[in-house]
Amino acid sequence: MITRLVEISEKLADDRKHDPVIRARMELAMRGQFPRFLLISPINRSSQDLQLFNIRLGDTFHATRVPGHALLSPEQSLTLFKGPASYNHEFQSKRGVVLTFDTTESLDIIRETMESIRLHPHLRELPILAFQVDYERGRARLIVHGKGRDYANENNLLSKLRRPDELDSDLLVLLCCDSRVRPPRTNKGVPMAIRALGGYLPAFSGNDDETRQLDEFFSDWLSTMQDSKRILIVAHGDFEGGGASCGAGTASLHLSAIENPLLREVIEELENAASQYESVLPNTPEERVKTISKASRANLLTYPSIADAHNLYQLAIDEVLMDTITNTLVQSEES
Ligand SMILES: [Zn+2]
């Protein structure tokens, strides 16, 4: 399966290199990321959201929430919410938070998610652009609310709507929030993706927090057609010599340089988890993101639903590398 994904990614990268607009954005992306929005999508719709709004390379820092559930408070959701929102705060270019909801999600989920957004100290001042989306038709309805809006950008996003590709729900990808990377395309369409700093997923805690929501999500996902399901952990960085490392991976090697205490708390967890798979301190962020992937893989197996699937029918969990700028996939030696 990975070989096919690598081929598709190489073909797409080649197409993109011939587009002068994309090439200009790639050159900018080598110098850093300047996202205007923090996009929070349901995990199952996250790849489709990038297509729905025609999001350009580098334009949204991307977080995800468990579908069918409201976003939890920042304290209950370190990896899916607190970390990405704290990292997003460091961008001077930020303009707002974009939230998407499936048509099947209730008004309570929408209301509670917006309340959680306002609980994050870094998000209190940003406008919230919220949409309820019919993904099959590629249509979105603006959600009117009283928590701070941005009419111009709401209209701008609505003007870009297009019908996303088919969802390939057989593949679940774990990928960094970085605005320059997007989940790999598959033969069937675009995969589901969990976006988190460095692509790091914590262990199942047994507490009433995001890991419980995630276990419920994994359990639902794995309840049907088990044989075709796979998980792919993607570590990104400068793997083609383009010159852009993972920001979270880099930060985890320089903890004392992180001034924002909320961000430091999250990156510290990443560093603790990764260092358990290192005999010496990595020389490069590229080495570090590989051990973050190893930690995520081990953590995935602590979720009861994943452990069952892994024991009963060897659910495949693979690791792969992605170049930050070209998004080309590279097989990691270990997998
Ligand atoms: Zn990253």
Domain count, the chain: 1
Crossing angle of helices 210-221 and 304-313, rounded to 10°: 30
Which tokens go with 265? 């708390």
Residue 310 has pLDDT above 90, yes or no: yes
Cα 57 to ligand 1 centre (Å): 14
Which amino acid is located at 299 in the chain? N
Domain span holding position 297:
2-331
Contact status, residue 28 vs residue 57, Cβ threshold 8 Å: no
| 158 CB-contact burial (10 Å; exposed 0-12 / middle 13-18 / buried 19+) | middle
- What one-letter code names the amino acid at 201? L
Phi, psi torsion values for 183, nearest 5 degrees = -55, 145
pLDDT in tens, 137-195: 999 999 999 999 999 999 999 999 999 999 999 999 999 999 999 999 999 999 999 99
| H or E element at residue 116 | helix 107-119
164: domain CATH number is 3.40.1050.10
- What is the value of pTM for the model shown? 0.96
Count CA atoms within 13 Å of residue 234 on its CB side: 34
* Residues 17-26, mean pLDDT to the nearest whole number: 88
177 alpha carbon – ligand 1 mean position (Å): 6
Q: What is the pLDDT of residues 70-103, one digit of tens each?
A: 999 999 999 999 999 999 999 999 999 999 999 9
Distance CA 272, CA 251 (A): 13
Q: Two tokens at 142?
A: 């603006």
Give distance in angstroms: CA of 216 to centre of ligand 1.
26
The Å distance, Cα 137 to ligand 1 centre, comes to 32
Cα dihedral 331→11→168→238 (10° resolution):
40
